[in-house]
Amino acid sequence: EKGGYDSFMEKEINEQPKAVEDTLLGRTDAQGRLTLDELRISPEQLKETSKIIVLACGTAAYAGTVAKYAIEHWTRIPVEVELAHEFRYRDPIIDQTTLVVSISQSGETMDTLMAVRYAKEQGARTLSICNTNGSTIPRESDAVLYLHAGPEIAVASTKAFLAMITASYLLGLYLAQLRGQLFSGQISDILADLHKIPAKIQTILDGAEPIKALARDMAQTPSVLFLGRHVGFPVAMEGALKLKELAYIHAEGFAAGELKHGPIALIEEGQPVFVVVPSPRGRDSLHSKVVSNIQEVRARGAKTITVAEQGDAAVTEYSENVFFVPETQPLLMPLLTTVPLQIFACALATEKGYDVDQPRNLAKSVTVE
C-alpha cells in the first residue's frame, strides 16, 4: 500500500506531480473558461466580493499566504489570511460581500470549522478548498473547490499543500475571469504554465539524492533557520514546520527582510540557514535583496543552503549547497521550491530513525479546538 516506498510520506511526496495534475484536471469548459466544482454562490454574488479572508491552520495556512499574493495580484481584491483559531476572537469585520475561503486537507479541523461557522453567522459567503469529499467544512460551506489529490495518510501534509496552492491559483484566476481583471489570453498563459508544473516537480524528485545526502549529513544539527521573501516566505515557514514536526529539530522560518530587525542575532558559526531565493526574472530588486541576505548571514558564519531557480548564477558563490528548481512564473514558484524542503525534512527524520508517518504528539486531523 506504500507503493514500494518506506513511508506514506515518501509516497505522497512522490505523488505530487499527479496531485497537482489532478487538481488542475477538468477545470475548463469547452470554451476554455475556468469552472469550479460545487458553486452554490452565483457568479454575480462572487463578482461583488469586496474582500477575501482566508482561514486555515498549520500547513494549510501557509498555502493561504501563497494564495494571498497570487489572488491579490490577479484580482486586485484585498486578501487577509488568518489562523482560524485567532479569527473569531478579534471581532472581525465581515459582511455579505466578504468571501471567506477556508483551506483544509481533512475538512474536519475543528478550529477551521468553528471559524467558518462564525463567518457564516456574520453573513459572509463561504468557500471551502478541501481534499476530503463530503467532509464537514465543505458540507457547511456555500461553495467547494475540491483538491482531488487523493487520500493523504502521513500526518505531515505534503501533496495536499501543493494541491491547496494549485486550487488557490485556480480560484484567483476564476475571480479574475469573472471580474474581467485579466484577459483570457493572460489566464490561459498562466494555466499553461500551471500544466507544466507536474513535469517540473518530477525533475526535482528525480534529482533528490543530493538533498537526501545533505539531510543525512545534518542529522545531528540542533537548529535550522529558513528565510524567504514574497511567495518564498510561506515556503520558508513550511520548510521549518516540516522539520519541527518530523525531525523534532528547532526550526524557524522568517521573512528574509526581517533578518536585520532581530533574527540575525541568532547567526553564529555553523548555523544552517536555508534560503528560498526568488526568481531573478521576477520583481526587480527582490532577488538581489535576498542575495544580500545570503551574504549577510554567511559573513557571520552561517552554513547557507539555497533553493534557487535553475541558472541563477548569483547564489552559487554564497551557498554551501544549492538546490536548483526549474523555471516558472515567479508566483508559481512555491509549487517547486517547497519540494526540496519536504525531501530534506523527510530524509533527516528517517536518518534519525523517527516514524515520519506518525510524528509524536500529532494527529492527522485535529478535531478539538
**Interface residues with ligand F6R (CB under 6 A)?**
57-60, 104-106, 109, 112, 156-157, 241, 245, 365-366
Minimum Å distance from CB 186 to ligand F6R? 30
User: Shortest Cβ distance from residue 245 to ligand F6R (Å)?
Assistant: 6
The distance of closest approach from Cβ of residue 34 to ligand F6R in the complex, given in angstroms and rounded to an integer, is 24
**Residue carrying the nine cell digits 466578504:** 98
> DSSP letter at 40?
-
Nearest to ligand F6R of 111, 312 (CB atom): 111
Asked whether the beta carbons of 55 and 116 are under 8 A apart, the reply is yes
Residue 79 or 147: the one with the smaller Cβ distance to ligand F6R is 147
Classify residue 278 by its DSSP letter: P
- The candidate with the shortest Cα–Cα distance to 335, out of 347, 327, 344, is 327
CB 240 within 8 A of CB 251: yes
Q: For residues 239 and 330, which CB has a smaller minimum distance to ligand F6R in the complex?
A: 239
Q: What is the DSSP letter of 88?
A: G
CA distance 341 to 339: 5
Minimum CB separation of residue 151 from ligand F6R in Å reads 12
Which residue's CB is nearer to ligand F6R, number 132 or number 293? 132
Query: What's the CA gap between 306 and 275, in Å, rounded?
Result: 5
Distance CA 322, CA 207 (A): 12
Q: Which is nearer to ligand F6R, 60 or 348 (CB)?
A: 60
Q: How far apart are CA 115 and CA 119, in angstroms?
A: 6
For 312-317, which contacts have Cβ atoms below 8 Å and span 24 or more sequence positions?
312/277, 312/279, 312/280, 312/287, 314/280, 314/287, 314/288, 315/275, 315/277, 315/291
Measured CA angle at 95 (ends 90, 97), to 5 deg: 130
Measuring CA to CA, which residue among 215, 252, 217, 39 is closest to residue 127?
39
364 is catalytic: yes
Number of residue whose CB is nearest ligand F6R = 58
**Smallest gap, in angstroms, from Cβ of residue 242 to ligand F6R?**
7
Find the shortest distance in angstroms from Cβ 196 to ligand F6R. 26
* Identified catalytic residue from 2, 120, 212, 364: 364
Q: How far is the CB of 105 from ligand F6R (least distance, A)?
A: 3
306 contacts 291 by C-beta, under 8 angstroms = no
Kindly tell me which of 58 and 239 has the beta carbon lying closer to ligand F6R: 58
Residue closer to ligand F6R (CB basis): 131 or 328: 131
Sign of CA dihedral 209, 250, 255, 9: positive
Cα–Cα distances in Å, from 333 out to 177, 212, 277?
22, 21, 10
Q: Which helix (H) or strand (E) holds 73?
A: helix 58-75
Distance separating alpha carbons of residues 315 and 232, to the nearest angstrom: 15
The residues annotated with a catalytic role in the active site are 364
